[in-house]
Chains A and B, each alone.
Chain A
Amino acid sequence: METRPNLYYSKEHEWVRAEGNLAYIGITDYAQNSLGSIVYAEVPKKGKVLSKDQVMGVVESVKAASDVYCPISGTVVEANEALADAPELMNESPYENHIAVLSIQNPGELKELMNQAEYEEFTKEE
């Protein structure tokens, strides 16, 4: 499974890329591989205030719907509407296709997430 340096990772297999006070959030390669073909995606609305661990969206595979959990608290400044028409982009390039961009409410929450090495260790045990 591919992981990227310079990203934060959650236990629910989301990744976070922090750029200034913005956080780009998506699902990891491990997540898209477990799901299989993603056939539907629901992204959050612009302006939505999300707390850490709150459900921020849904990705559906052929067999089931899976909630996407917000890894850190923030407000949605942009949602990737392209995923609505092409949810398979998350399978093809999970790290290039974010679900939403949040303005970070509490940068301290980033420390609670895993780094690349920790996430790789985590996925080995799953």
Chain B
Amino acid sequence: MDRRTPLYDLQKAMGAKFTSFGGWELPVSYTDIIKEHHHVRTKAGLFDVSHMGEILVTGKDAKDFINSLITNDITPVPDGKALYSPMCYENGTVVDDILIYKFSDIELLLIVNAGNIEKDEAWIRSRAFGDVRIENLSDRFVQLALQGPLAETVMKKLCGKDTELPKFFRFTEVELLGMKVLLSRTGYTGEDGFEIYLWLPNPCADPKKLWDGLLEAGKDEGICPSGLGARDTLRLEAALPLYGHELSDAITPMEVGLQRFVKLEKNSFIGKEALFTESRQLKRKLYGFEMLDRGIPRNGYEVLKDGKPLGYVTSGGIMPTLSQNGGLALLEDTGLSAGDLIQVIIRDRSCSAKIVPVPFYGKKYKK
């Protein structure tokens, strides 16, 4: 039985079409995926991402413990800032890719992927050392994402002109519609925007009021509710990785262009030796590609070069903003260049495509 977020009834009443994702029944679209996609790129969209998981790590050794788990380095990150990092096994493949919100050296909140919550909690507990406490708070948060060029305008309206909004990848506590929320300048669309975390045990917490309030505040800006369908096309254009596609327990962050999030000079972390060895000789590489022949590439489709099997599509589909079809492919050739031709097998038909630089869509973060 799939789980539902507290906003399910509201969303159903709005006419949302639902899909099953990571054990959750979530809106895939409210009107139309492509409409919602364009809307987020030109105005603002509101996503219910409450399926994501939250794991709190506290204690004297919290920071050092987290740093031992992740490939990125939390040491230079100031309080009030978030960090993106893969979290790896000893062999360098990925347990999950997460966000770490650093409240302080002794309090860090991990945001984990919906389908990995239990796995991640078990992994983190199994590797714990020193004075740390681990709490899975996933059931106690509602998380919304407000994304798009007008997201800031909408948020300013709700927060009042005296509240300073967090800058890129920073977070702060604000009051929205009488509720205290955690507000971060993060997202998964390639646009400027915010993620909003509502702590449900708070007596003032009212997820429906928050959802409706955001949509109401953004009416003049043309805000619209957006589902998972648009979330996927938006992140694909921005070439953002999706666990299970670009990352998994069979793929390392080095192979998929995430080297800048792997700090090999860091003291030690799980997977360091394997990733260091791999960095000297990568065997596979993730490339962006654009279709030349008609056809929509999708996850798992085989990729050939000059008739020779070379790998497969990790994510593919339509790219509405770019008016093209394309995707990402993990190939056993690290020497390909933009312009090189490959063939994607779509339903037994060999369709021509070319390697292109990523991201396909230039991110519009306000840094």
Contact = CB atoms under 8 A, between A and B. Distances in A.
From DSSP, what is the main secondary structure of chain A's interface residues?
A: strand
Given A36-B29, A36-B33, A37-B32, A62 B229 contact: yes
A60 B28 contact: no
Given A36-B17, A40-B295, A84-B294, A62 B347 contact: no
Interface string A54-91: 00001011110100000000000000000010000000
A42 B346 CA distance: 12
For B19, B28, B34, the residue with the greatest tally of chain A CB atoms inside 10 Å of its CB is B34
A113 interface: no
A36 B294 contact: no
B251 to A, nearest CB: 23
A39 interface: yes
A83 to B, nearest CB: 12
B34 A62 contact: yes
Contacts of A42: 347
Interface in B271-328: 294-296, 298, 317-318
From DSSP, what is the main secondary structure of chain B's interface residues?
A: mixed
Contact of B318 (A58, A62, A65): A62
Contacts of B318: 39, 62
A42 B295 CA distance: 9
Given A62-B229, A62-B233, A65-B347, A39 B29 contact: no
A62 B233 CA distance: 9
Interface string A6-44: 000000000000000000000000000000110110100
A84 B298 CA distance: 19
Interface of A: 36-37, 39-40, 42, 58, 60-63, 65, 84
Given A62-B317, A63-B33, A84-B294, 19 more contacts: A36-B17, A36-B29, A36-B32, A36-B33, A36-B229, A39-B34, A39-B296, A40-B295, A40-B296, A58-B347, A60-B296, A62-B33, A62-B34, A62-B229, A62-B318, A63-B19, A63-B28, A63-B229, A65-B298
28 contacts: A36-B17, A36-B32, A36-B33, A36-B229, A37-B33, A37-B34, A39-B296, A39-B318, A40-B294, A40-B295, A40-B296, A42-B347, A58-B347, A60-B296, A61-B33, A62-B33, A62-B34, A62-B229, A62-B317, A62-B318, A63-B19, A63-B28, A63-B33, A63-B229, A65-B296, A65-B298, A65-B347, A84-B294
